[in-house]
Amino acid sequence: MVGKSQIKLIKSLRQKKYREEHGLFIAEGRKCVTELLDSNLKCEAVYADDFGIMKQIAFDCTPVGAAQLKQMSNLKTPAGVLGVFEIPSEIKPLASGIALALDDVRDPGNLGTIIRLCDWFGIPQLVCSVTTADCYNPKVVQATMGSLSRVRISYVDLPQFLANDKRPVWVADMDGENVYESTLPGEFILVMGNEANGISAEVGRLASGILSIPRFGALHKTESLNVATATAVLLSEYRRHHP
């Protein structure tokens, strides 16, 4: 049986300040919870309202009623299982290899998709500005579908980090060099900007190169690509040069 205080705590984890206070975050759905259970993340508890799902999960689940799970859930339609995990201690960025950096990417869905793209394309590290969405936001966790545990995610003062790193910094911008005609280095930092405003001026001044994705439509009326879509194109092109 789950008490009201536990339900209240889990509901509070929807907000960043309470995630930071308790050092916990939530994940929902069999696939997402199972993937995180298979990682190095420490699990505090798993709640499920379906005996069939409980049998599929290698963890001692706490049975709850559908009404209780709905109270805990961040989803309109609960996915049948919810896990509570510890937020790992601060992760420092690596100083070598390729890194993807996000300059003020605010949308949780975009961030979750980008984390999943890093996992897909084998990009080991994601460096986020402090104003980028929280990777433990329930919407981000949901969008990653378990990739959260396989990508090294750091939050830093981005301009300071880029200024002190020795790797070349390439930023994505509409007015840059055509990515299909570029020779991408094996080790560099690729920076993606804010959904509405792109790369900040402070970060832009640190760029050693600018990459763009050309438009091929006859009318050229589409203003820009979604940041997650653009990230997919650029990472795919990087892997074409560096498989």
| Model pLDDT, residue 184 | 92
Q: Which residue has the tokens 């605010």?
A: 106
Per-residue pLDDT tens digits for 115-168: 999 999 999 999 999 999 999 999 999 999 999 999 999 999 999 999 999 999
CATH of the domain at 34: 3.30.1330.30
Residues 104 and 199 in one domain: yes
Q: How many CB atoms lie within 10 A of CB 80?
A: 19
Phi-psi region of 102 (alpha: psi -120 to 50; beta: other; left: phi over 0): beta
| Model pLDDT, residue 50 | 80
Phi-psi region of 59 (alpha: psi -120 to 50; beta: other; left: phi over 0): beta
The count of structural domains within the chain is 2
- The secondary structure of residue 189, as a DSSP letter, is E
- Reduced 3-state DSSP string for 190-232: EEECECCCECCHHHHCCCCEEEECCCCCCCCCCCCCCHHHHHH
Residues 139 and 209 in one domain: yes
Residues 45 and 68 in one domain: yes
Residues 71 and 114 in one domain: no
What CA–CA distance (Å, rounded) separates 83 from 14? 13
Residues 150 and 188 in one domain: yes
Which residues lie across from 27 on neighbouring strands? 83
Residue-range definition of the domain harbouring residue 14: 4-86
Residues 74 and 117 in one domain: no
Q: Evaluate whether residue 94 is within a structural domain.
A: no
Residues 112 and 187 in one domain: yes
Q: Evaluate whether residue 93 is within a structural domain.
A: no
Task: Mark which of 27, 57, 86 sits at the end of a domain.
Answer: 86
CA 92 to chain centre: 16
Q: Which residues of the chain have pLDDT under 70?
A: 1, 218-222
Are 33 and 41 spatial neighbours (Cβ–Cβ below 8 Å)? no
CA 77 to chain centre: 22
Residues 58 and 106 in one domain: no
> How many residues are there in the chain?
243
Task: Mark which of 86, 116, 139 sits at the end of a domain.
Answer: 86
The DSSP element (H or E) to which 49 belongs, if any, is none
Phi-psi region of 104 (alpha: psi -120 to 50; beta: other; left: phi over 0): left
Task: Mark which of 86, 121, 144 sits at the end of a domain.
Answer: 86
Residues 233 and 151 in one domain: yes
CATH of the domain at 189: 3.40.1280.10
**90's tokens:** 């601060």
Burial pattern 160-185, b for ≥16 Cβ within 10 A else e, equals ebbeebebebbbbbeebeebeebebe
Q: Where are the alpha helices (DSSP H) in 38-106?
A: 51-56, 66-72
Among 13, 214, 191, which residue's Cα sits nearest to residue 105?
191
Residues 162 and 49 in one domain: no
